[in-house]
Amino acid sequence: MLALCISVQVLLVVQLLRSPIKPGRYRHNQRECLMRLEWLVSLCVVLGHRSEDSHEDLDDFYLNLISWSIQNAVAVALSECTYIWRADSGTVTQIAEAPQGSYVSSVSFANDGNYLAIGMGNGEVELWDVEAGTKLRTMAGHQGQIACMSWNGHIVSSGCGDGSIWHHDVRVARHKVCELLGHTGEVCGLEWRHDGEYLASGGNDNVVNVWDSRMVNGGGDHEGQTFMTKRTHTAAVKVR
């Protein structure tokens, strides 16, 4: 009976997502997009809680499994798989699958929407070309799951379960260009300011840090410094 209920919900969502958005006013289309996204999120929750094969952390509050791009596409992570839903056509395609024994823990579109960063439970960050549907590179080194990411131009910042934040320069072979250490718990929220000067991070340690991109001790693989820290929260903080 449970399998039948899940199958019915999957069919309903697929049918809804495959139907193209009707032309009309922007606000009407936006409401319809949000409705479809809510259906897809509901499916994620159902499968994350009910599937015997899903990883136990997939219903983790700290993971960031949805990203909406400037090109009006939505990336959604379901256990080991990552899907792209395109609002203009209503099509859903699978773009990536996690390495064996791992799972997808976060997704984040680049600022221009052309690239998608996928964080893994094994600490790797994959970079994908969205249009071509191909993986460009894998950036390894973290020692825990990547619960959140945020882009600033060619830099993608990743928050790790061990409390560290790395800046990855996706253009160069030695991708790690800076490490930020200011959390004692898992980093579960990251957001760059629009001008790229400041990065806000929230953690499972109830701490909010603001980092000044100009306050870095030299070039290369060095540590950044906090510009401001707030410790008055009483629960984990997800920065959006």
pLDDT of residue 232: 85
| pLDDT score for 8 | 40
Strand order through the sheet with 66-68: 66-68, 73-78, 81-86, 92-97
CA distance 211 to 217: 13
Does residue 50 belong to any structural domain of this protein? no
pLDDT in tens, the chain (240 residues): 334 344 444 444 555 555 555 555 444 555 555 555 555 554 554 444 434 444 444 667 789 999 999 998 999 998 899 999 888 887 888 999 999 999 999 999 999 999 999 999 999 999 999 999 999 999 999 999 999 999 999 999 999 999 999 999 999 999 999 999 999 999 999 999 999 999 999 998 999 999 988 775 444 455 667 788 888 887 787 776
Distance CA 6, CA 142 (A): 35
pLDDT score, position 34: 56
Domain span at residue 177?
A: 57-230
How confident is the model at residue 103, as a pLDDT?
A: 94
pLDDT for the residue numbered 220: 47
Q: Give the integer Cα–Cα distance in Å for 55 and 79.
A: 7
203, β-bridge pairs: 187
Q: At what angle do helices 2-18 and 26-50 cross, to 10 degrees?
A: 160
Q: Does some domain include residue 27?
A: no
Check residue 132 and give its pLDDT: 94
Which one, of 130, 170, 131, lies nearest residue 149 by Cα? 170
Q: How far apart (Å, rounded) are the C-alpha atoms in residues 6 and 29?
A: 28
Q: Is residue 77 part of a domain?
A: yes
Residues in the chain: 240
Q: What is the 3-state secondary structure (H, E, C) of 38-57?
A: HHHHHHHHHHHHHCCCCCHH
173: three-class secondary structure by DSSP: coil
> Looking at the domain assignment, is residue 183 inside a domain?
yes
Q: How far is residue 239's CA from residue 100's CA, in Å, rounded to a whole number?
A: 30
Q: Which of 125, 187, 198, 124 is nearest to 116 (CA)?
A: 125
Nearest to 104 by CA among 67, 79, 73: 79
Count up the domains in the chain and report the number: 1
* Domain CATH code at residue 151: 2.130.10.10
Strand partners, 108: 117
**Residue 17 domain flag:** no
Integer Cα distance of 138 and 112 in angstroms: 20
At residue 3, the pLDDT reads 43
Residue 240 lies in a domain: no
Inside any domain, residue 19: no
* DSSP secondary structure code for residue 58 in this structure: G
Give every CB contact of residue 93 below 8 A, 6+ residues apart in sequence. 83, 84, 133
| Residue 90 covered by a domain | yes
